[in-house]
């Protein structure tokens, strides 16, 4: 069957998708206004019990795309369970997905349990024994529990493989096969993956029955319709987004901007934050009545407000002639909606600017947008405190210049003249500038840490190397010393070497970078790949073998790039810490 390509034209509501009232209430409480394209495409077949093979990256709303129909369809709370098993590659994702399912299933009192390596097993055992509806697990830990008999899969009616390509890259293929064979054969199986290479097709062939296919990346805009707008992106962790936006706006000083958020809650919260920063920001969302919305529009048109913070739904049909900037505070859920959003500026030959804040995990979506529009989006540094000071000084200078030019200063002359008896006129001028500068600005801020791109570590082909980045205890006879270095083989093109340990130095044309953070600091391969590709001009392909020991890590890179990477990493943080980085010293 040909894959479905969700379109942005028709927009049924969550209620139109047939979801039960408890779920609709939960979604309204969360401030979701309408389903994202992947949700529109995936929810109906999944509610009908079909298997599904979906291509979707983080940021598209894929979690709700599988979570909502499962919560809708399965008899939540009916027995000890579990009714659904969601497999994810990392503990972070296990926590994130289980929190999301918990929020969606709140009104149904769904019991959702994350289980992952590194968490005390006792707590997991107690929770499993008490009965659960949904288990969200990393494959290693799930297998441990299956082996111990503490995770019984007899009542599982649905299995989700989330970020399947990443699970394969982390070497979980066999574990996934083993887990799936332990589940009832009549179960529903859902596979989501950012990419659909042959290895994913194999899993799909083996474990999915007549799946519906949903692809997001097939969208295209016809040539010439992509708007000509200066596009900039900033990579920033979720926790720092509001502060980062404040800074970007301070530097950009837009005359009239629309800032897009995903939910009503975010719209209200961000409008408040921006008002606190001195902007005249208005909230606009689908929860407001027509009168309120008209008032907002009048304020924006008349210049009484500088910014409108809006959801996509509320902004639909909104036509503001004077808009100079479109800001994607939240990444749009599909590349096509990015094009719709930014099409609001840069019309009729006017110059417009589009600014996008990208969370590290959403990096892949940005690439999807670039493919769709055929335009490169440059990732820029979030303005630093020094940039903000420079901008404030410039504003102060411009203000003083204006005051000099406008004249009418005579009433202040006496102040300068009396001070000039005791002080140099230059000193007096400097003090006046200082006062003007201090009066112009907000409180001092803290530096926002650079966020590394979270891209997958160089993939490991067919478990050629011992990739054991799992905190699960040694199992099935694979006694690995708890403190043995973790190794990840590089891609063939990335100069992967045979299974040498930490002993060897550089190979031809390649050297190793020493990074003074290791397993003790919670470092994993994707942290290193993310920091290096995020901070330097290298791509994931340039990165070879990665070895992680307790206190340090070694990363194989093109020899000529090491000095640049060392320099680039000086401003980076990895897992909240500043890495010490240098070329690996050769040992004799
Ligand atoms: P995901 O791609 O599943 O990681 O979701 C990305 C983000 O979008 C999460 O913060 C979700 O809470 C949010 N989200 C998912 N679906 C919707 C929706 N229909 N409307 C607004 N926000 C959504």
Distance from residue 35's CA to the centre of ligand 1 (Å): 9
Query: Ligand 1 atom 9: the closest Cα is on which residue?
Result: 61
Cα separation, 229 vs 324, in Å, equals 10
Q: Which part of the chain is CATH 3.30.70.330?
A: 457-583
* CA distances in angstroms from 530 to 53, 134, 340, listed in the order given: 27, 31, 30
Q: Which part of the chain is CATH 3.40.50.300?
A: 15-215, 229-384
Cα separation, 292 vs 309, in Å, equals 14
Give tens-digit pLDDT for 305-331.
Answer: 889 999 998 888 677 777 889 999 999
Res 486: pLDDT: 40
Average pLDDT of the segment spanning 492-500: 33
For ligand 1, whether the C-beta of 116 sits within 6 Å is: no
Average pLDDT of the segment spanning 186-191: 97
Res. 481: pLDDT tops 50: no
Burial of residue 41 (number of CB atoms within 10 Å: 0-12, 13-18, 19+): buried
Residue showing tokens 């950009």: 252
Average pLDDT, the chain: 82
Res 479: pLDDT: 34
Distance from residue 452's CA to the centre of ligand 1 (Å): 21
Distance from residue 59's CA to the centre of ligand 1 (Å): 6
Just give the CATH number of 229-384: 3.40.50.300
Res 330: pLDDT: 95
Structure tokens at 474: 């040694």
Weakest-pLDDT range from 313-327, 500-514, 520-534: 500-514
Average pLDDT of the segment spanning 40-65: 95
Weakest-pLDDT range from 59-63, 249-253, 490-494: 490-494
Distance from residue 62's CA to the centre of ligand 1 (Å): 7
Res 444: pLDDT: 64
Res 497: pLDDT: 30
By the 8 A CB rule, do 513 and 562 touch? Answer: yes
Q: Which residue has the higher pLDDT, 309 or 127?
A: 309
Give tens-digit pLDDT for 356-399.
Answer: 999 988 888 898 888 888 888 988 988 888 888 888 888 889 99
Question: Above pLDDT 90, what percent of the chain?
Answer: 44
- Distance of alpha carbon 59 from the chain centroid: 7
Just give the CATH number of 15-215: 3.40.50.300
Cα separation, 70 vs 490, in Å, equals 37
Res. 221: pLDDT tops 70: no
Res 503: pLDDT: 30
- Point out the ligand 1 atom lying closest to the alpha carbon of residue 56: 2
Res 349: pLDDT: 59
| CATH class, range 457-583 | alpha beta
Res. 212: pLDDT tops 80: yes
β-partners of residue 546 are 488, 555
Average pLDDT of the segment spanning 9-20: 85
Res. 565: pLDDT tops 60: yes
Q: Which residue has the higher pLDDT, 248 or 461?
A: 248
């Amino acid at each position: 069957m040909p894959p479905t390509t969700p379109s942005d034209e028709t927009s049924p509501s969550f209620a139109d998708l047939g979801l039960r009232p408890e779920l609709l209430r939960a979604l309204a409480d969360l401030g979701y206004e309408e389903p994202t394209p992947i949700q529109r495409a995936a929810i109906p077949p999944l509610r009908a019990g079909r298997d599904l093979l979906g291509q979707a990256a983080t940021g598209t709303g894929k979690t709700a795309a599988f979570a909502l129909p499962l919560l809708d369809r399965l008899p939540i709370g009916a027995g000890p369970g579990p009714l659904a098993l969601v497999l994810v590659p990392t503990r972070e994702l296990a926590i994130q997905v289980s929190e999301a399912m918990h929020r969606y299933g709140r009104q149904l009192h769904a019991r959702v349990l994350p289980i992952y390596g590194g968490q005390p097993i006792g707590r997991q055992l107690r929770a499993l024994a008490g009965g659960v509806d949904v288990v969200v697990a990393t494959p290693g830990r799930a297998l441990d529990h299956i082996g111990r008999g503490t995770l019984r899969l007899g009542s599982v009616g649905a299995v989700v493989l989330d970020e399947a390509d990443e699970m394969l890259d982390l070497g979980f293929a066999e574990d996934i096969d083993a887990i799936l064979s332990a589940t009832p054969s009549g179960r529903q199986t859902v596979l989501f993956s950012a990419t659909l290479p042959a290895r994913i097709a194999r899993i799909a062939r083996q474990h999915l029955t007549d799946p519906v296919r949903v692809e997001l990346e097939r969208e295209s805009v016809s040539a010439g319709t992509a708007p000509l707008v200066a596009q900039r992106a900033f990579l920033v962790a979720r926790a720092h987004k509001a502060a980062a936006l404040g800074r970007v706006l301070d530097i950009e000083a837009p005359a009239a901007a629309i800032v897009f958020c995903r939910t009503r809650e975010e719209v209200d919260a961000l409008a408040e934050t921006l008002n606190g920063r001195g902007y005249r920001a208005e909230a606009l969302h689908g929860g407001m009545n027509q009168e309120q919305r008209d008032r907002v529009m009048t304020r924006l048109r008349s210049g009484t407000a500088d910014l409108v913070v809006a959801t996509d739904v509320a902004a639909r049909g909104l036509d503001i002639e004077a808009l100079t900037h479109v800001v994607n505070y939240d990444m749009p859920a599909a590349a096509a909606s990015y094009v719709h959003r930014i099409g609001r500026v840069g019309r009729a030959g006017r110059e417009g600017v589009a600014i996008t804040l990208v969370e590290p995990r959403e990096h892949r979506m940005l690439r999807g947008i670039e493919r769709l529009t055929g335009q490169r989006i440059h990732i820029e540094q979030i303005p630093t405190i020094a940039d903000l000071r420079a901008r404030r000084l410039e504003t102060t200078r411009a203000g003083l210049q204006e005051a000099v030019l406008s004249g009418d200063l005579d009433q202040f002359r006496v102040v300068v003249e009396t001070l000039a008896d005791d002080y140099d006129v230059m000193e007096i001028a400097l003090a006046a500038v200082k006062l003007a500068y201090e009066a112009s600005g907000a409180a001092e801020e803290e530096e926002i840490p650079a966020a590394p791109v979270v891209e997958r570590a160089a993939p490991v082909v067919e478990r050629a190397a011992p990739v054991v980045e799992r905190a699960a205890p040694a199992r099935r006879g694979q006694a690995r010393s708890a403190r043995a270095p973790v190794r990840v083989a590089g891609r063939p093109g990335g100069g992967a070497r045979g299974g040498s340990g930490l002993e060897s130095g550089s190979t031809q044309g390649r050297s190793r970078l020493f990074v003074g953070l290791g397993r003790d600091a919670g470092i994993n391969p994707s942290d290193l790949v993310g920091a290096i590709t995020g901070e330097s001009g290298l791509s994931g392909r340039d990165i070879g073998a990665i070895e992680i020991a307790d206190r340090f890590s070694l990363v194989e890179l093109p020899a000529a790039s090491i000095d640049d990477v060392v320099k680039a990493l000086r401003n980076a943080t990895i897992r909240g810490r500043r890495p010490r980085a240098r070329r690996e010293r050769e040992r004799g």
